[in-house]
Amino acid sequence: MKIRKASERDINEIAEIYVDSWRTTYDGLVPREFLNGLSYETSQHKWQSFYDDQVNETFMYVAVDEIGKVVGFAAARCMLHKEREGELYALYLLDQCQGQGAGRSLVKAVANHFIISNVSSMFVWVMKNNRAG
């Protein structure tokens, strides 16, 4: 598994991973109607906006399998509170790729990005009862 900085050409795959991961990871934790209402098109707009956000210093990394398919991603941003803090905004992997170390590698890439950017702390919000949390 290779980790690299996401590019704009990855947005469609990121959008699909987001929707597919919600449907597998949060089934039973959130109403099924909500999960069924998720769409690739809406997700694509969400992640394109996140990618384009220059105000909040957003960035994304992707996990790519041996054939070059994006199978997971991490999205992060710098938050300005009393000091600059890093937020791991999202971390999603396709169900079949979980438990293989890609998530850990994505978190490490985000943490390294923050270190290089002089951000000394990182936080993440995790849904209670999330099996990945």
Return the CATH superfamily for domain 2-123.
Gcn5-related N-acetyltransferase (GNAT) (3.40.630.30)
* Res 31: pLDDT: 92
Flag whether pLDDT at 82 surpasses 70: no
pTM: 0.90
What the block records as the tokens of 117 is: 């950017």
Residue written as tokens 């956000």? Answer: 53
What confidence tier does 124 reach under pLDDT thresholds 50, 70, 90?
confident
What the block records as the tokens of 103 is: 């998530």
* Res 129: pLDDT: 63
Q: Residue 63 and residue 128: Cα distance in Å, rounded?
A: 25
Residue written as tokens 């997971």? Answer: 72
Per DSSP, the three-state class of 18 is: helix
Q: Residue 121 and residue 117: Cα distance in Å, rounded?
A: 11
Across the chain, where does the E strand assignment appear? 2-5, 59-64, 70-80, 84-93, 122-123
Flag whether pLDDT at 17 surpasses 60: yes
Are the C-beta atoms of residues 76 and 110 closer than 8 Å to each other?
yes
CA–CA–CA angle 33, 35, 37 (5° rounding) = 70
* Res 61: pLDDT: 98
Cα end-to-end span (Å), the chain: 21
**Residue 11 burial by Cβ neighbours in a 10 Å radius (0-12, 13-18, 19+):** buried
